[in-house]
Structure 1
C-alpha cells in the first residue's frame, strides 16, 4: 500500500514506493516516488560518487577551483529539479564540451573572460529552451541531423588531443599508469564500480604520483575545515562568442538525449518537458559562469546508476545535490582534489578526449549514416580536419578556432549541399524526417546494455 503526501510545491511530496525498502522485479521507482529516506540517501550518495570523477576533471584541467565547480554543480542540480517540477531526474555535472573553449578563452582573456563565455553559452541554451518549450523539439532534428551532431561531438574530442599530449609529456609514467588503470577498470569490475572506471583510474594514478613524489600537499595543510569556496566574477568579451557557440549545440543534444532516455526507462511521456530541461541546464550554466564554476550538463554516468538500481526518484537527486554543496564547503577537501598532478590529468584526458571523439562516431553508427553519400562524407570529413589542425580565423575581436569553424562547416556543408541536391534531384543523404534519428549521447541501446534483462527496453 502506498501513502501520498500532499505538497504545495511541484516536485515535492513524493509517493512512498511499496514498503519503502525494496523494488519489486520488473518495477521502477518513478520520479514522483521515493524509497524510505535511508535508502534514498544511499542512492543519492551513489549519484555523487558516479558524477565525481568526470565532474572534477573539468576544473582540474581548466585550472578552475574544484570546490567552486562542485558548489555550482550541486546548486545547479537543485535548480534543474525545481524548473522541471521534479519530473526529470538528473545530476548536472561539468560538461567536457567546455574544455577547449575555456582553455582558449583563458589564454586570451584570463579565467574571468572564460567565465563570461560560459555565462553566454548558458544564456544561449536558455533561449533555445524557450523556443523548444513553445515550438517543440522537432526542428532540432532538421537543423542537426545525426551526421551533423556526430561530427560536432567528434571534432570536440579530437581538437583536444594536443592538450592531452602536453600533460602526458610532463609525467609519462604516471600518465601511462592512469590510462591503463582506466581501461582495465572498465572490464575488470562489474556494476557501479565498473562504471566508475574514470574515478578508479584517477585514484590509482594519483597513488602512483604520490609514490613518485609528484604531489604537493602543502596547500591541504593550510586549508580550513569549513568555509566558502573561491568565487570569480565574469568579464564579457565579444571575442569569446566564436569559441562558445558550438557548445550550445552539444548541450542541446545531451539534454534532449537525457530526457528521451528517462522517458524510455520510466515509460513516461516527457517530450513536453524538453524545453524546461534546456532552460534549467542553461540557467545552471549561467549561474556557474557568474561565480567561477564550470558549465554544466545532464550526466550519462547517473543514467547508469538509475538503470542498475531502477530508482529514478528525484528525491535521491535532492540528496545528491545537497551532499555536493556540503562537500564544496569543506576547503580541505577542495585543496586535496586540487593536488591531482598533471600526469594523472594527461592520462585521464587521453582516455576521455578519445571517448568524446568516438562518441561522435557512435552517433553515426547507431543512426546508420550512409557514408557512401558524398554529402555525408563531406559533413563528417571536412570539419574533423578543421578541428584537428585547429584552423583559426579572426574577424575584428572575434576569433574562430577549430571547434567553432568545424561546427559551422558541418552545418553549412550539410544544409547547402542538401539544398543543391534537392534542386538537382540528386541524393540528399540522411532524411531529416526520421523522428527516431535524433542524435543523443544516451539511447535505447545503452539502456539495454545496462539492463540486459530487458526491463526497460521498448
Structure 2
C-alpha cells in the first residue's frame, strides 16, 4: 500500500484543520469528511469535464468513466505524492473537431491516443533527464501563444452554435458572468456549470430539449465504447495539444509543491507519464484526452486539504456515476444554444489564459522577436490557415504552433549570432523565479 501512496496518517483529530496548517498529501481527515471533500472535487470538475464531450460529440458517460479511471491511474503512478484530478482537456476540442471532419469519431480517437503516447514518452524523458529542456524549448512567449491560439481558433464554432438559439445562448452567457461575481467560494468557481444549468432550464421551457434518449436509456450499465482508428493526417492536429498538456502538468506540479512546501520536481516526469497513459486509455475506449485540473487546485486551496485520499474517493465516484446510462443520456441532451453560450465564454477564457501567461511572466513585447512570435501565431491560428501535403493536412492550430517555435528560436538564433537584438537568456525563462505560476487550461 505504501508504494501506492495509500498509507495516510490521520491529521490531528481527523475533524479539523488546525490554524496555520494544512492536510498534506500523505495525510487524511476522518473518512466521512474525506468522502465529503472527494465529492466536492467531483462537483468542481463536473462542468468542465462534461463540456468537452458535449462540444465534441463523444458520449459524456464514457468520458466520465475514463476521467475517474485516469485519476486513479495518476495517483498510482505518482505514488500518491501529487494530489490531482484528471478531467477532460479543453485543448483537445479543436483538433478532435477537425479530425472528425476528416475521419469521423474513430479517427479523432486515434489522434487522442497518439497525443497521449507522445506525452507519456516526454514524461519518460523528463523522468530521466529533467524538465529544463522543456523550459528552454517553450519559454512563456511560446506557451502563451499556443494556449491563446487554441482557444481563439474555436471562435467560429462558438458562433455557429450560438446562432442556433440566440436567446438561450445569451442567457447562458449572462448567467455565467453573473454567477462569477455574485457568489464566493465553490459556487463562484462553478460559474460555467451553473450558467449551463440556467441556460438548460430556459431551453427546456422553450422546447429545445429532446428527452427521448433519456427515456430509452437503461438505469444501469456500462457506457458506450468505441475503438480508435489511426490516420497519419491527424498528427499535425494533435501534436500542439501535447505541448499544452506538458505546460499544464508542470504548472500543476509546481503549484501543488508551492502550496504544500514540498519538492515535487522528482515526480514531474511521472505526472507527465501518468497523464499520457490516462489519455491513451481514454482514446482507446471512446473518451476525450485528460489533463490535471485547475478547478480542483482551487478546492484544495479553499479547504487546505491536499490529501490524495480525497482524490481516490473522487475517482471512485466518477466511475460509479458513469455506470448510470440515464445520467449520461441526460447530460447529452444539452442543446446547441447552451453549448454556444458556454463556448463563447469558455473559448475566450482559453485565449485569455494565454495572455495571462504573458502577463504573469512579464513577456517583453517591445522585443520584436516576442512580438513577431505571438503576432504571427495568433493570426495563423485565428484565421485557421491550412496547408495540405499529400494526405497530410495541417490547420491553424498546428501551423500556429509550428510558427511560434520556428519564429522564436529561428529569430533568436540569428539575433544571437548577429548581436542585433536582445534575446531572453535561461534565467528569464523561469517563471517560478518571479513568484508566478504557469496558468492552467482545464
> Common fold, TM-score beyond 0.5?
yes
Residue 211 of structure 2 corresponds to residue 197 of structure 1: no
Give aligned pairs, total. 440
Shift of residue 25, structure 1, vs aligned partner: 1.1
RMSD: 1.6
The one-character-per-residue Cα deviations of 1:195-217 (angstroms, maximum 9, x if unpaired) are: 00011100101001001110011
Secondary structure at the aligned position of 1:44 is classed as: helix
Separation of aligned partners in 2, 1:191 and 1:334: 27
Q: Note if contact 1:155-1:406 (Cα within 8 Å) is conserved in structure 2.
A: yes
How do 1:46-195 and structure 2 match up within 5 A? 46-195=40-189
Q: 1:238 aligns with which of 232, 237, 245?
A: 232
Q: Note if contact 1:142-1:433 (Cα within 8 Å) is conserved in structure 2.
A: no
Separation of aligned partners in 2, 1:376 and 1:19: 53
Partner of 2:286 in structure 1? 292
Separation of aligned partners in 2, 1:446 and 1:184: 23
Separation of aligned partners in 2, 1:333 and 1:117: 27
Partner of 1:378 in structure 2? 372
Secondary structure at the aligned position of 2:179 is classed as: helix
Secondary structure at the aligned position of 1:57 is classed as: helix
Shift of residue 380, structure 1, vs aligned partner: 0.7
Secondary structure at the aligned position of 1:93 is classed as: strand
The one-character-per-residue Cα deviations of 1:8-52 (angstroms, maximum 9, x if unpaired) are: 543111010000010011101010000000000000000000000
Shift of residue 133, structure 1, vs aligned partner: 0.4
Separation of aligned partners in 2, 1:416 and 1:428: 14
The one-character-per-residue Cα deviations of 1:280-324 (angstroms, maximum 9, x if unpaired) are: 000000000000000000000000000000000000000000000
Secondary structure at the aligned position of 1:359 is classed as: helix
Separation of aligned partners in 1, 2:14 and 2:103: 52
Partner of 2:221 in structure 1? 227
Shift of residue 397, structure 1, vs aligned partner: 1.3
Gaps of 5+ in 2: none
Separation of aligned partners in 2, 1:375 and 1:319: 47
Secondary structure at the aligned position of 1:433 is classed as: helix
Partner of 1:11 in structure 2? 5
Partner of 2:277 in structure 1? 283
Q: 1:405 aligns with which of 399, 410, 416?
A: 399
Secondary structure at the aligned position of 2:388 is classed as: strand
Shift of residue 365, structure 1, vs aligned partner: 0.7
Secondary structure at the aligned position of 1:394 is classed as: strand
Separation of aligned partners in 1, 2:429 and 2:136: 10
Separation of aligned partners in 2, 1:374 and 1:424: 15
How do 1:337-356 and structure 2 match up within 5 A? 337-356=331-350
Secondary structure at the aligned position of 2:209 is classed as: coil
- Closer/same/farther in 2, CA of residues 207 and 443 from structure 1, 3 Å limit: farther
Q: Note if contact 1:182-1:198 (Cα within 8 Å) is conserved in structure 2.
A: yes
Q: Note if contact 1:145-1:432 (Cα within 8 Å) is conserved in structure 2.
A: no
Partner of 2:207 in structure 1? 213
Q: Note if contact 1:370-1:429 (Cα within 8 Å) is conserved in structure 2.
A: no
Shift of residue 395, structure 1, vs aligned partner: 1.4
How do 1:243-322 and structure 2 match up within 5 A? 243-322=237-316
How do 1:30-41 and structure 2 match up within 5 A? 30-41=24-35
Q: Note if contact 2:139-2:429 (Cα within 8 Å) is conserved in structure 1.
A: no
Partner of 2:426 in structure 1? 432
Secondary structure at the aligned position of 1:434 is classed as: helix
Separation of aligned partners in 1, 2:388 and 2:71: 37
Separation of aligned partners in 1, 2:344 and 2:293: 20
Q: 1:330 aligns with which of 321, 324, 327?
A: 324
Separation of aligned partners in 2, 1:102 and 1:93: 16
Q: Note if contact 2:78-2:274 (Cα within 8 Å) is conserved in structure 1.
A: yes
Gaps of 5+ in 1: 1-6, 448-458
Separation of aligned partners in 1, 2:132 and 2:432: 9
Q: Note if contact 1:261-1:443 (Cα within 8 Å) is conserved in structure 2.
A: no
Shift of residue 439, structure 1, vs aligned partner: 11
Q: Note if contact 2:136-2:429 (Cα within 8 Å) is conserved in structure 1.
A: no
Shift of residue 426, structure 1, vs aligned partner: 2.2
